[in-house]
Structure 1
Amino acid sequence: MSEYEGWEEIYRKHAPESLPWELGEPRPVLVELIQSRKVLPEGKALDLCCGLGTNTIYLASAGFQTTGIDISKTAVAHAQRQARAAGVNIRFWASSALDLPFEPDEFDFIFDMGCFHHIRRPDRDAFIQGILRILKNSGHYFMICFSDKNGPAWNHFSDEEILDIFSPHFDALEMQHFFSLEGDGRTRFFYATLFRSR
């Protein structure tokens, strides 16, 4: 089964409220970041691996000219319906995070809730280069990924691992470790890191 088929199956078979990563509201750490004015809600924002569009809609409502992208066409169709219902204008794409169909230097801010931690090790460099290509110089990349406190796994990271992977290309402005009660009722640990591209 391809990556596309796997995600399509998940979104087709499961009700939105049963998906672990769908909280039914924007991620609190994203809301806190925007409200803190550390990232100004202006210019163009991309919600990478946007899923059902909850965070995408928040970014548009906050003032960004917003785009959402997800590999699942089913997720994107749901996100489009949600955006229309919310009365916000958002551009959505159905495409892989390894094949970003955008212009160089197009975005001022990229939000990544759980996209990076699904990128396999051999594809990480291509993933990062894709982000660097579409993010403006000194643009912000806000990445949330699984913490190693969840237990050992290939996609659970320590703070040192995150910095080792991204520091050749980004300045880490802040990092926080937090836990969240996810949509499936389980508590998971995450790192949220705000990077600035060089």
Structure 2
Amino acid sequence: MLLQELLGISEDIYFVEESYLAQRTIERTLDYLNGVRRFAETGKVRLLRVHEGEHTLGLFLFNSADEEVSVDFWSVFTGALAEARSKKDFEILVDPLLTFNPPEREVEVSSEIWRDAVNEYYSLMLVNRNLCLGCAVKPESYGSVFSENRVRRVEEIFDILQKKGIFPEGRLLEVCCGNGMSTLALYRLGLNPLAVEINKCTVCQGLEQGVLNPQRTVVMDATALSRYFEPGSFDGVMGFMLGLVYEFNKDIWVNIMKEVVSVSNEGALMLFTVSSKPEAEILAGALLRAGVKGEIVDNTDSEGTYDQWLFIGEKQKA
């Protein structure tokens, strides 16, 4: 695990927050840190610190084995992914704690590496069934789930982009990634998107098969992207075979399009595929109203199944 590699520790680690999304509000983290501070004044607490410059990204607190817990482990506190107010509250609690208890070791990393490490932790917790107690879903074979034809179909879309002089660069986001079949194509093209998907079971499937990168995968509702990412966080957003997009549920997809634009940088590539022209028109209308200039592209083939219609666009200046 990346976190253990960064700190050079072998003991188990556990984040105080139970989910990636809870890292935005860090209510449990702030509550626990208040309690830790009360006994930290004794100066007997073992701490490790991960930081970027002067900012503490993560604080590791050692817990010895006892009658209830049979092994030593580290509790991990972080405010790095929190919204601004909670992040400030985190640092207010951490700074005096470190004064009373200087960490036995400090490691400096970038915030991007730290975020990848946090992503990986929750991905591994998911695939090891620690986030879904009582899960009865059994792993399936790679061949029964993943289709090379589907992967190639996505790869072919990038031939269309290249003919237009377009290729994704920078910080990329893939929404509604499912089990990672389209993500696999992106990896093969040398891209490394952050892949988000609301369905835990499909994400787990992709992680089990080694298709999804645990450091770059998050279980998240795409209608709430702006709650977890700042404006300008991404230089490109993609989504493959979105839908089904109908009149009766189009509000959901319109909201997703608004969200992807809100967390994108000026000039960001917008690439989405669906199976029918009416679906593409709904997405295109939402994106155009949100400040994206682009076009619908006919990509139909004889099979008439995947990625039949594309929207390719670019976020304009506000």
Shorter-chain TM-score range: 0.5 to 0.7
Q: Is 2:268 the partner of 1:142?
A: no
How far did residue 143 of structure 1 move? Answer: 1.0
Q: How has the CA–CA distance of structure 1 residues 77 and 105 changed in structure 2, closer, same or farther, with 3 Å as cutoff?
A: same
Q: Percent identity?
A: 17
Q: Is 2:96 the partner of 1:96?
A: no
* Unpaired runs of at least 5, structure 1: 1-11, 149-155
The one-letter amino acid of 1:194's match is: I
Q: Is 2:258 the partner of 1:129?
A: yes
SS in 2 for 1:102: coil
Residues of 1 paired with 2:147 and 2:279: CA distance?
18
1:17, 1:23 within 8 Å by CA — same for their partners in 2?
A: no
1:68 aligned residue: 195
Cα root mean square deviation, aligned: 3.5
Q: How has the CA–CA distance of structure 1 residues 195 and 158 changed in structure 2, closer, same or farther, with 3 Å as cutoff?
A: closer
* Unpaired runs of at least 5, structure 2: 1-136
2:183 aligned residue: 56
How far did residue 70 of structure 1 move? Answer: 1.0
- 1:6-57 CA distances to partner (integer Å, 9 max, x unpaired)? xxxxxx6996766799845241443324554733343122221111212213
Residues of 1 paired with 2:167 and 2:305: CA distance?
30
1:41, 1:62 within 8 Å by CA — same for their partners in 2?
A: no
Q: How has the CA–CA distance of structure 1 residues 92 and 188 changed in structure 2, closer, same or farther, with 3 Å as cutoff?
A: closer
Structure with more relative contact order (C-alpha pairs < 8 Å, separation 6 or more): 1
- What is the number of residues matched between the two proteins? 173
Residues of 2 paired with 1:36 and 1:56: CA distance?
21
For the pair shown, which has the larger CA radius of gyration, 1 or 2?
A: 2
Q: Is 2:165 the partner of 1:165?
A: no
The one-letter amino acid of 1:166's match is: L
Q: How has the CA–CA distance of structure 1 residues 116 and 59 changed in structure 2, closer, same or farther, with 3 Å as cutoff?
A: same
The one-letter amino acid of 1:93's match is: V
Residues of 1 paired with 2:188 and 2:241: CA distance?
21
Residues of 2 paired with 1:167 and 1:133: CA distance?
13
Residues of 2 paired with 1:82 and 1:73: CA distance?
14
The one-letter amino acid of 2:173's match is: L
